[in-house]
Structure 1
């Protein structure tokens, strides 16, 4: 059985000269007639056979042409992804495995970054098989005149690697991926990046520290829970401390409140929030960002057994708050509550962000391509949304409605797990109870964490959504710190 981690991606780099004998790729812009980028004059290209629509590809001899639409970053990202998918398909029929892409002289850094990201992850393929993998495109050089694009491409490749690694973790079948496996994968990834520390705590430690939520959710499985803590210490003392918390439910049956059979097989991706946090920490450390970041992933399986927790139970979360359980299929908020309380008490964060495939309500509200954003701090909310725009992930801010806050109170415990009302909002209000006075954002990715078809740079399966946003968010704090140091 082969499922190599990490999945190999197309290597993208910048060059200032063409390679002799290497197939060329030209870009095309829509119009009447279609406008071709540089290099068309040296090659025999029939413009009548070309479309400038973003992502449209055509092959003429050994030359490929890809449309970049109106030239917006999303168009360039889609172009890179569509091109690589077409080249992969051609490679399987004995086509080439390396290409030179000729970029216009006036191409922007944003366009280069978007095209690189699309090209790197657009051809992502995860398959557990005993067969040899098919021939694939291995590398691509972007021929551009500005050497400064090398740094742009380097960062885009880092974001692509984080997206891909997050997809890998979420796509792994749950007969392989249990909490222990996820922890081991985080440790292995951390060892490959200088300065990134990874610590794994077992069920004995969780019991000693009274992580009642994680232990309750994981109690129905023969494979015990884990608590994963990744630490990037930053580069200097006194830097902002950003704590990221990701839901790590490696499989979710729903517990006693069992899910319908249809769709349950997709619950291998119910740890996509945790995967995004692990991948983001790796990406942040690779860039040596001057900001302190800690990633917490409470990992458990939610199963049905004689030791499973029940509706009506009252559990004591880390830190002492008691929770009335009303639905064992709302397990994500219970494990997140422990981790959030742990962060507030022990890590003293300046900023706290959690990310989770939390509620079906957000899928109904925002569909499958936009993440829900809740925040107690306007500056933090703006940073998350702007980070998403920068890396091609869409977020929509949702309200924390105070008229619903009282519904979180329980008659027999401090709080109740599933208050009535709009499910995405009440889940966020429940989580807020564990965040102290720390500026906090909750990212509900139940919709965009999985895809059932190809679009833009996304392929079917786990999408890796949120990993890029988290890296870019950390970088905004790094830039703020650098600006403050300069002023000081």
Structure 2
């Protein structure tokens, strides 16, 4: 397969001086007339320039990009649109690097958003025997000597943060997004549970302090992971269980992240319709987000304890596939009545959640999965569903997502539906009646042991069929940035491990 992993991204750095002979990018703000940032006096035809976020125009060797009203989303959209335009022009121009001239009072929040958009907005994953096209390789953000975002005022997010630090963090978040996309976009003839486990090991290689343990199907059987074994039993490619450990602090809360790792989902005996099944290569986007987040957390050296768990399996059809009507025994002994083999994600997550509660003693437990089509219908394809048993945790997730450009909407966990999870044949039933996204969450809640818990359903935003903002067609890497930012909110700065 000729699709280099990791996918190379545009590198972004901050500086206070322009380079001789390097083409410039100027910024524009909407107005009548349009307001131009530093260097605007060199624009020969101001009337051609618009200030809408993401609007781009080339005049000679100079580019102008609109940043709208200057909100973080506007800057992120501007960075992404600019890089896509530069990529499209790269073969003609031969230019591989640009100096982006920013206002001297630019905020760290704006610089971070622009960096994130520029880094991932031009992402491209393609399996091909052809040589890759010419691409822009780097941007240098020239701030006219401004070193921090303090000029915007002490009340603004990012105020007082060194711009170089804001860019460094944004690049780390971009790398997490890209890794999540790479793992999810990889075709499933290549990507099986063993491949995904190996990819986690390779991604962690060279990241000091990040440990990865991979357990095989024999270990899973010995430990009683009945959900993972049932789901993976129909495939000739056996399941795996991946555990990533980052001990960035000696004390403080222990955050455990669990991601669904279904490397391909046929639906099993409850087989899916053919239309759209090819997209099931991305059904491990939750697991990809967890792997990517752990790598990003460790690379930044965040002072927090985080463990990532990825139960990985391929849900296939064969004589050894599990059946509707089966009763499976999960890790820890809870039994589940199977009613639909295409609701496999909750079965593997249940094992991993129970394992976390019994062995890891988490203070916070978060799972993420492309779990239900119901959430895609409910919230569309740009917003993730957020379920939580703890208001503080729910607020942390939503606020973390807002800071990194990922939207979440909190959903209810109504008590009147909880009893429907009970089964006459087993302890619980896999697919209770009622609203599918909610009942799936209530099923998972049974395995959380009363630990503060959030369930993130990303069935909608994990994939995109068109370009928008910093998102491109295919896997989006959604949730990797939120998980990374969430972990940082629990960081204990005084307990850093060198």
User: TM-score, normalised to structure 1's length?
Assistant: 0.98
C-alpha deviation, 1:146, in angstroms: 2.5
Superposed, 1:37-56 pairs within 5 Å as 37-41=37-41, 43-56=42-55
Q: Where does residue 30 of structure 1 map in the other structure?
A: 30
Among residues 255, 258, 262, which one is paired with 2:275 in the alignment?
262
Superposed, 1:67-216 pairs within 5 Å as 67-144=66-143, 145-147=145-147, 148-216=162-230
Q: Where does residue 421 of structure 1 map in the other structure?
A: 434
| 1:459 and 2:472 are equivalent in the alignment | yes
| 1:249 and 2:248 are equivalent in the alignment | no
Deviates more, 1:186-195 or 1:420-429: 186-195
Residues 50 and 65 of structure 1 are in contact (CA less than 8 Å); yes or no, is this contact kept in structure 2? yes
C-alpha deviation, 1:40, in angstroms: 1.4
Residues 314 and 413 of structure 1 are in contact (CA less than 8 Å); yes or no, is this contact kept in structure 2? yes
Q: Where does residue 65 of structure 1 map in the other structure?
A: 64
Among residues 386, 400, 405, which one is paired with 1:387 in the alignment?
400
Unmatched segments (≥5 aa) in structure 2: 148-161
C-alpha deviation, 1:44, in angstroms: 3.5
2 CA distance for matches of 1:335 and 1:270? 13
Among residues 346, 350, 353, which one is paired with 2:359 in the alignment?
346
| 1:396 and 2:395 are equivalent in the alignment | no
Deviations 1:151-180 (A, max 9, x none): 100000000000000000000000000000
User: TM-score, normalised to structure 2's length?
Assistant: 0.96
Deviations 1:57-86 (A, max 9, x none): 000000000000000000000000000000
C-alpha deviation, 1:45, in angstroms: 2.9
C-alpha deviation, 1:93, in angstroms: 2.1
Residues 57 and 65 of structure 1 are in contact (CA less than 8 Å); yes or no, is this contact kept in structure 2? yes
2 CA distance for matches of 1:146 and 1:164? 29
Equivalent position SS for 1:53: coil
1 CA distance for matches of 2:372 and 2:415? 19
2 CA distance for matches of 1:250 and 1:360? 18
Q: Where does residue 405 of structure 1 map in the other structure?
A: 418
Q: Where does residue 18 of structure 2 map in the other structure?
A: 18
| 1:279 and 2:288 are equivalent in the alignment | no
Equivalent position SS for 1:256: coil
* Equivalences, count: 480
C-alpha deviation, 1:46, in angstroms: 1.0
Residues 239 and 290 of structure 1 are in contact (CA less than 8 Å); yes or no, is this contact kept in structure 2? no
2 CA distance for matches of 1:237 and 1:462? 35
C-alpha deviation, 1:239, in angstroms: 2.2
Deviations 1:83-109 (A, max 9, x none): 000000000223311000000111111
Q: Where does residue 234 of structure 2 map in the other structure?
A: 220
2 CA distance for matches of 1:327 and 1:19? 61
Equivalent position SS for 1:93: helix
Among residues 485, 491, 494, which one is paired with 1:472 in the alignment?
485
Equivalent position SS for 1:130: coil
Unmatched segments (≥5 aa) in structure 1: none
Residues 105 and 146 of structure 2 are in contact (CA less than 8 Å); yes or no, is this contact kept in structure 1? no
2 CA distance for matches of 1:89 and 1:297? 37
2 CA distance for matches of 1:308 and 1:39? 65
